Structure 1
Amino acid sequence: MTKKLDDILASWAAGRNVLLYGPPATGKTRLISELFQLLKQAQQGTSGILLDPNESEKPFSRPSKPLTIPQPVKVVWTTFHQSFSYEDFIIGLRPDITSTGTRLRPWAGLFLDAALELADPDSEYKSVVIFIDEINRGNAARIFGEFMTFLDFDYRKEGRVAIPLPLRQLIYKDGLSEPIFRLGGKEAQIPENFTFPKDIYIVSTMNSVDRAAVPIDSALARRFDRIEMRPSLEVLAQLWSIDRDTIPSSIDDIRDTLSPLLAAYLILDRLNISISSDLGPEFELGHGLLTSIQASETDRGMEQESLEDNIWRGIATAWDDIIFPQLEDRYAGRPEQLIDLLRIETPPLEGEYAWKFRRSVSSALISRTLEPVRTSELNVDVIKRSFRWLAG
């Protein structure tokens, strides 16, 4: 995560926007939300940003190196969705009701308002950072419209080819536009040949798995530095105090003694290798799906065996509610691959196994479909045997 944060700051320093992309639960939104809070609270100075992944409560601190953008920084958060529009992000017309009647007046969206903020001589801010979560859940090309050009810093003020704002929706008189309502209640006017300010930066996230999301077109994507957020076993190893150097290349000899957390660690590793081979790495399962599994403070006084049983059941609950639904979604229309993934045709030689083929109640008919099961409702010995077998 520290490297990802450094990459964001380096992109801003180079005059580039940032797109974090990857499967769900890989820390994209968490990273930018922590960065949002830090920049929101930061005061003008020479402090930079440091991320310590071992500090789960307050992972960010302020080292001596400077930020790469001018301070103070105004931060703006938004999430794109199917109803989010050009009018919300750039400029739109809204009715303004007065004593003399009703007329349509221009209102600035988030992106234009950022430009107006830096053009305001009374503003305290020197730069604006816009955080866009789930950028591909809206029609991003339509939302940005002609302002897609200004994602490229070369066409902004102080750029190599500064281009005036193409706001043909506005009425100009005597070199100034009609008044524009801003988000904070102020009004502003734009002079003719106004160029987009330099110090406006965007950091966004994109889910690489969701089929319902709108793909980012190439013209928009090339204006972002793309930073991949991959599932990280290292995060789980740190969270669960797993020494990866002690894990053998084959677990056959230690399978029956696998701890619940090591089993969960190995399961995620095995599932993601299979998913990557079958579907591609962008469909892997994020480590965040498992970070909720740990011994709670209320469990600390339990006997070791009871504590481990609770963790096993926590793994089973996470499997039922989070992980298996993700697998069903990824392997929709590929039942044989899911059967192989769950090792249904090669179960343990002894004892009950959680996953099996569906059988007819009144005959010997067996279907090559899964018997519905909630593993969290099974006997804990079955849970242990099943997840240890699934681990490798």
Structure 2
Amino acid sequence: MPTEDDIEPHVRAVLKTLAIRKNVIVAGPPGTGKSRLLNRVRELFEWRHGHTGAAPTAAIPLPAASGEIPTWFPSPDQDVSRRAFQTVFDQNTKYRDFMRGLVPTVGKAGVFTVTKGTLYRASIHAKHEGNAALVIIDEINRGPAVAAFGSALVGLESDKRLASDGTETATTQFFELLGDDGGHESFALPNDLYILAAMNEADTSVEPLDVAFLRRFAPYRLEPQVEVLRQHLGLPADPTSLPETPGTALDLYEALAQAWVQLNRQILLGRGQAYQLGHGALMHTTAPTSGIGAAQEYVADAWATLRGHIDEVFFGNTRALSDLLRAEHYRSPYALEETTFAGQTVRRIVGPTRLRADELYNLLSLIAKQ
């Protein structure tokens, strides 16, 4: 039987918070491992005998789920059927997709069917003796979350649920929804139902979630972790000095790691915590160690991700991009060009579309040393 120390810290913390609060939202910059965390929690929550959730990039592989469920888990006594129900919110997500609603029946004009959405199906499963259910929602702020939950919002909090034996308590909150016959029926969320969601705060295409909605969820934040990136790149724990020219793959990786740290510091100052770039964005594949040429390709791909991110975060702010790219330094492959158009000063960054290996190393070194 695995102990708390056998399980990765973030996974353990989220499971323990779910056990207490029932609802958790994982937030953080892109590339910090939110979706991976959701999958890892799902693997353990379902507690399948002989199942392992190990992943190639895991610092500590998950143990095989066997034996008695730990007492600190969500619903440790419910071991008949533990199921996860997964969904992704988008702009078209509706209450009928998540709870219940009417939809036309295909091939039958004028005939409607009452839907069974993700949260509804999970609730019904969790109401059976010995069962527990986990609803996983990725990209929760990409859709109309408040509308999707609808009347179920009033019963989300742990003290508003049914008791563990399915009976009503003094604080259980009931709400109306459609029954199978189309009529309204009273419904309350079960005790052994859990909701785990993830959101990307920096996504400019979505609206912030309602404060009253967020209040019903325990927040859990992931941050960029330089130690994870350095381990992935095969680097020592502490940064080392950068040579004038790279002699090994590790020199290139050291420049990449240090430049990424420095860029995140500047993004934090210029835009805020949510707009940083996580370590996972630069861990797109195994970092080659056999030759400097393969490492150069890896670093070039990583830089393309970094450059695309800062272009998006500072879109329209040419002066900020110039500072980030060291465009006014003589060793930078980029330059800040100023000209006049329609009587106004126009600034733009000029430079190669794809950097040569020496140009890329020089740029990363410049950024790292700032």
Correspondent of 1:155 among 147, 157, 160? 160
CA distance in structure 1 between the aligned counterparts of 2:216 and 2:54, rounded to whole angstroms: 26
CA 1:55–1:140 in 2, change beyond 3 Å: closer, same or farther? Answer: closer
- 2:307 equivalent in structure 1: 324
Q: Is residue 154–residue 160 contact of structure 1 (8 Å, CA) maintained in 2?
A: no
After TM superposition, the structure 1 stretch with the greater mean CA deviation from structure 2, 8-17 or 136-145, is: 8-17
**Residue 127 of structure 1 is aligned with which of 124, 132, 135?**
132
The match for 1:343 is 326
Match of 2:3 in 1: none
Verify the 8 A CA contact 1:82 1:139 in the aligned structure 2: yes
Deviations 1:224-243 (Å, cap 9, x if unpaired)?
A: 11111111101112112322
Shift of 1:163: 2.3
Match of 1:21 in 2: 27
User: Counterpart of 1:78 in structure 2: which amino acid?
Assistant: T
- 1:84-110 Cα offsets, whole Å, 9 max, x none, are 1111001111234799x8432322211
Task: Judge conservation of contact 1:4–1:227 (CA < 8 Å) in 2.
Answer: no
Q: How far has the Cα of 1:391 moved from its partner?
A: 2.0
- RMSD across aligned C-alpha pairs, in angstroms? 3.1
Deviations 1:242-285 (A, max 9, x none): 2233x35xx4x745457011111101100000110111111101
Q: State the structure with more CA Rg.
A: 1
Cα distance per residue 1:57-98 (max 9 Å; x no partner): x83224787133233311111000001111100111123479
Q: Any stretches of 5+ residues in structure 2 without a counterpart?
A: 1-6, 164-168, 340-344
Does 2:38 match 1:59? no
Give the SS at the match of 1:61: coil
Question: 1:358: Cα distance to partner?
Answer: 4.3
Asked if 1:390 corresponds to 2:367, the answer is yes
User: Structure 1 residues 289 and 98, CA, compared in 2 at 3 Å: closer, same or farther?
Assistant: closer
- Could you say if the C-alpha distance between residues 21 and 255 of structure 1 is closer, same or farther in structure 2, counting changes exceeding 3 Å? farther
Q: Structure 1 residues 233, 218: CA separation in 2 closer, same or farther (over 3 Å shift)?
A: same
Q: Which residue of 1 aligns with 2:296?
A: 312
Q: For the structure 1 residues 98 and 354, does the alpha-carbon distance in structure 2 shift closer, same or farther, using more than 3 Å as the test?
A: closer
Match of 1:228 in 2: 221
The residue correspondences of 1:66-215 to structure 2 (distance < 5 A) are: 66=70, 67-69=73-75, 70-71=78-79, 72-96=81-105, 102-120=110-128, 126-158=131-163, 160-167=170-177, 169-170=178-179, 178-179=180-181, 193-215=186-208
**Structure 1: runs of 5+ lacking an equivalent:** 171-177, 181-188, 301-306, 361-365
From the superposition, tell whether residues 86 and 243 of structure 1 become closer, same or farther in structure 2 (CA, over 3 Å): same
- Give, in whole Å, the separation in 1 of the partners of 2:362 and 2:205: 37
TM-score normalised according to structure 2 size: 0.82
The whole-number CA distance in structure 2 between the counterparts of 1:16 and 1:3 is 19
TM-score (structure 1 length as normaliser): 0.78
Change (3 A) 1:194 1:370: closer
Per-residue deviation at 1:40? 4.5
Which residue type is aligned with residue 90 of structure 2?
H
User: In the alignment, which residue of structure 2 is the partner of 1:183?
Assistant: none
State whether residues 26 and 219 of structure 2, in contact with CA within 8 Å, keep that contact through their aligned partners in structure 1. Answer: yes
Classify the secondary structure of the residue corresponding to 1:20. Answer: strand
Change (3 A) 1:130 1:315: same
Q: 1:36 aligns with which of 30, 33, 42?
A: 42
**Residue 309 of structure 1: how far off its partner (Å):** 3.1
2:166 corresponding residue in structure 1:
none
- Identical-residue share of aligned pairs (%): 25
Q: Does 1:8 align with 2:14?
A: yes
Q: What amino acid does structure 2 have at the position aligned with 1:204?
A: A
Q: Are the counterparts in 1 of residues 91 and 144 from structure 2 also a CA contact under 8 Å?
A: yes
SS at match of 2:300: helix
Q: Distance in 2 between matches of 1:117 and 1:179?
A: 20
1:104 maps to amino acid: F
Change (3 A) 1:357 1:98: closer
Q: CA deviation at 1:357?
A: 3.1
Residues in 1 aligned to 2:215 and 2:26: alpha-carbon distance in whole angstroms: 13
Distance 1:273 1:102, change over 3 A: same
Compared CA separation, residues 35 and 255, structure 1 to 2 (3 A): farther
1:354–1:375 Cα contact (<8 Å) kept: no
Q: For residues 325 and 120 of structure 2, what CA distance do their matches in structure 1 show?
A: 51
* C-alpha deviation, 1:115, in angstroms: 1.8
Equivalent residue pairs, number:
343
Residues 106 and 61 of structure 1: is their aligned pair in 2 closer, same or farther, counting only changes over 3 Å? same
